[in-house]
Amino acid sequence: MKGPILPSAAELHSLLKRLYPITRSLTGDGVRETLRVVQEVADLEIQEYPSGAQVYDWQIPREWNIRDAHISTLDGQRVVDFRRNGLHVVGYSVPVCEEMAFADLEPHLHTLPNLPDAIPYRTSYYRENWGFCLTQKQLEAMDRNARYHVVIDSTLEDGVLNFGEKLLRGTSGREFFLSTYCCHPWMANDNQSGVVLTAFLNRYLSQKEELHHSYRIVWVPETIGAISYLAHNELAMKNLEGGFVLSCCGGPGPLAYKETFLGDHLIDRAVKLAFRDAGIEPWLRPFAPDGSDERQYSMPAFRIPMCTIAKDKYYDYAYYHTSLDDPDFVTGENLLSTLKMYIDAIEILERNRVFKTTMPYCEPQLGKRGLYPQIGGAHNQFGNVKKCAMSIEAEVDALTWMMFLADGTMDMVDIAERSAQPYSNLCVAAVKLVENGLLEEIQEVNAR
């Protein structure tokens, strides 16, 4: 039987490169095109909410589309050209077509003097404005005494806010959440990396023969998309047990982990076990109500514990929100290593069960059931421990810990923490013990 297939690093990077140069914003053709490209990997549904709808304290903005934008000299030379890089225009800029003096144009220009080769990423979603972003070098090359022709060929009209959604059904009655944001244009780590990883996580989970838990997976425009989704799915969202915000997961920095607002929720513990068993010390980022959509999902009415596994998390890298965050900054290998960590954490949740021993009075005799090495005495003896993935010694350790701790009050995550045994070894042991009638699975307790 075929299990889920991990993508290659090249496959991850190639999707990232396709998505990168699409002109995206909160709304508009770019979001729809992005979601259609993601559909080639993930069978998400493209959904929409209408402009103008009230969602809690917010209103869904009008749909923004842009065809072209430039600052040109009066003899027609484009000194700033939106067609070369989508970051050149402030997101949601209103249309402009004017000739103006540099002095009048200057307040609308944004640069990063400390990163003179970078175009910054700027938006003005909720206040009508317009502007251009350019490198400091481009700005310095402009003639301050000249007049310029300034064009932004954009439209702001009633339309829709689009998002992608997929619901995968499991058997446990417990639902987890994966959310990423699909509004950022022309930047790779923030956040085409999250869009790509969510797509392949969707594919991975869909390919599993059986899902224990249910998963709600969304690609939403940041903030307003998350708020709109919460407002339209209030009851279902209140029942979510926890989840992940996939953001900034492909940079060259160390694997980082931003805790949920609780810090010790089952989600946190699953992630910490995944890191522990991989032998990687995560760069721990405590929860703060900033960053991405966890700050919406974890607000008092919902309190969904959301965490993030990242490589070069927002705020942690110098290229954040600039044109230098490009497909050279994000590699397929980095994407793959973060994807694997997400999968390991989710697999821990998937395999988390509560078992109870059928022999609580003394340890059962493993040897007569073929579960113990036939020659006694060598187990865990100094000099005799073979360090392979699942040596007989490791297996006996896992079996012994399972028999000792599985008293019906602890789940597999508890047992893995208490025993310091690799989670997957404990799962193998649990299966063997159940097969031999030494353990029984009991109804797990909903953590929320």
Which positions lie near Zn ion, rule CB under 5 A?
Answer: 190
* 100 CB-side CA count, 13 A: 13
User: Bridge partners of 147?
Assistant: 101
Whole-angstrom Cα distance, residue 304 to residue 285?
A: 18
DSSP string, 168-216: E--SSS-EEEEEEE----S-IIIIIHHHHHHHHHHHHHHHSS--SSEEE
Q: Nearest approach, Cβ of 189 to Zn ion (angstroms)?
A: 9
Nearer to Zn ion, 190 or 312 (CB): 190
Q: Nearest approach, Cβ of 321 to Zn ion (angstroms)?
A: 6
Nearer to Zn ion, 198 or 214 (CB): 198
Q: Nearest approach, Cβ of 319 to Zn ion (angstroms)?
A: 12
Q: Nearest approach, Cβ of 84 to Zn ion (angstroms)?
A: 21
Nearer to Zn ion, 190 or 411 (CB): 190
Nearer to Zn ion, 190 or 293 (CB): 190
Q: Nearest approach, Cβ of 247 to Zn ion (angstroms)?
A: 8
With residue 406 as reference, give the H or E element that holds it.
none
Q: Nearest approach, Cβ of 103 to Zn ion (angstroms)?
A: 31
Whole-angstrom Cα distance, residue 191 to residue 141?
A: 31
The residue assigned the tokens 């989710």 is 346
Burial label for 102, CB within 10 Å (0-12, 13-18, 19+), is middle
Phi-psi sector, 128: left (phi>0), alpha (psi -120 to 50), beta: beta
Residues in the chain: 448
With residue 67 as reference, give the H or E element that holds it.
strand 63-73
Residue of closest CB approach to Zn ion: 190
Nearer to Zn ion, 64 or 275 (CB): 64
**DSSP label at 242?**
E
Q: Nearest approach, Cβ of 62 to Zn ion (angstroms)?
A: 22
Nearer to Zn ion, 124 or 206 (CB): 124
CB 108, CB 93: distance < 8 Å? no
Nearer to Zn ion, 330 or 426 (CB): 330
Q: Nearest approach, Cβ of 128 to Zn ion (angstroms)?
A: 22
Q: Nearest approach, Cβ of 184 to Zn ion (angstroms)?
A: 5
Closest alpha carbon to 22 in 8, 7, 43, 36: 36
Nearer to Zn ion, 229 or 275 (CB): 229
Closest alpha carbon to 391 in 378, 403, 402: 378
Nearer to Zn ion, 121 or 148 (CB): 121
CB 281, CB 275: distance < 8 Å? yes
Whole-angstrom Cα distance, residue 203 to residue 419?
A: 33
Whole-angstrom Cα distance, residue 430 to residue 441?
A: 9
